[in-house]
Amino acid sequence: MFNLGLPILFFISIINFTVMYWVDKYYLLRFNKTPKNFDERTITFTIDTMKMAFVWHLIVCGGMISYAPILTTTKRMKGILDKFNDATQKYNLTLIQDTERL
């Protein structure tokens, strides 16, 4: 499906990884010689932030699950599911038959 765009993306990724390698190497050797001294404030800040991130994650997930349009199926998706069901019936594919082969 995306094969037409991939050759140029390979070239772009080669250039990107090469440039990033040399930039990271330069910064590592020139600027990051000694690490910062961390104390207990850094650890407590990280733990508190992770607690808040967990609570925020639960709030956002609850909002997404309770929002009805996310869970409804559109006409386009119904068409795709119908085509999938037709194909599975055409080739007699079911989940039970596939697991019995294993």
Of 30-39, 48-57, 58-67, the poorest mean pLDDT is in: 30-39
* Residues 30, 17 share a domain: yes
Q: Does residue 99 carry a pLDDT above 50? A: no
* Residues 29, 45 share a domain: no
* Residues 78, 59 share a domain: no
Which residue, 93, 97, 74, is CA-closest to 84?
93
What is the tally of structural domains in the chain? Answer: 3
Q: Does residue 71 carry a pLDDT above 50? A: yes
pLDDT digits (tens, 9 = 90+) for 34-47: 777 788 998 899 99
Query: What's the N-to-C CA distance of the chain in angstroms?
Result: 30
* Residues 52, 28 share a domain: no
Range of the domain at 48: 37-71
Tokens linked to 39: 């104390």
* Residues 24, 42 share a domain: no
